[in-house]
Amino acid sequence: MKLLFINGVNLDMTGIREKGVYGTQSLDEINAEIAAHFKDDECEFYQSNIEGEICNKLHGADCDGIILNAGAYTHYSLAIRDAIASIKIPVIEVHMSNVHSREEFRSKSVISEVCKGVIAGFGKNSYILAGESFKL
């Protein structure tokens, strides 16, 4: 199975910013653990802080499933919402933190309605749970 993991804005700061929320591991370290978990699958990892680049990546995706942590774009990017709606590949929205137990603005997602499902609150395992869900 081909899985594409996309991380959006500020996720490159994982391990540096808000360690109490997002942990101490870097995104590269987390991605290495994800790749080891899905060792029998083909995993691609992509990160961008730029909204349009994330849209381009979604448009050009060639895989069985996309795991997307759009970061703060989740809460307001109609461009990413429309990019998800424009492709046939299923997308799962993920968040490391439980967005519903934090500030009120994080409970609103403009992408959930065009995603296959949503997983939040399991730290780096949110990505693994989302990837596994494509195998059910």
Q: Using CB under 6 A as the criterion, which residues of the chain lie in contact with ligand DQA when the complex forms?
A: 10, 69, 71-72, 74, 95-97, 99, 106
Out of 37, 95, 100, 127, which one is annotated catalytic? 95
Q: Minimum Å distance from CB 71 to ligand DQA? A: 3
Active site residue 22: yes
Per DSSP, 34 falls in state H
Q: Minimum Å distance from CB 40 to ligand DQA? A: 26
Whichever of 83 and 96 has its CB closer to ligand DQA, that residue is 96
Name, in order, each residue with C-beta under 8 angstroms of 9's C-beta and a sequence gap of 6 or more: 48, 49, 50, 51, 70, 71, 72, 73
Q: Minimum Å distance from CB 104 to ligand DQA? A: 11
| SS3 assignment, position 15 | coil
Out of 22, 75, 76, 100, which one is annotated catalytic? 22
Nearest Cα to Cα of residue 22 among 68, 71, 74: 71
Q: Are 2 and 41 in contact (CB under 8 A)?
A: yes
Whichever of 42 and 101 has its CB closer to ligand DQA, that residue is 101
Q: Are 96 and 34 in contact (CB under 8 A)?
A: no
Whichever of 42 and 117 has its CB closer to ligand DQA, that residue is 117
Which amino acids are annotated catalytic? 22, 95
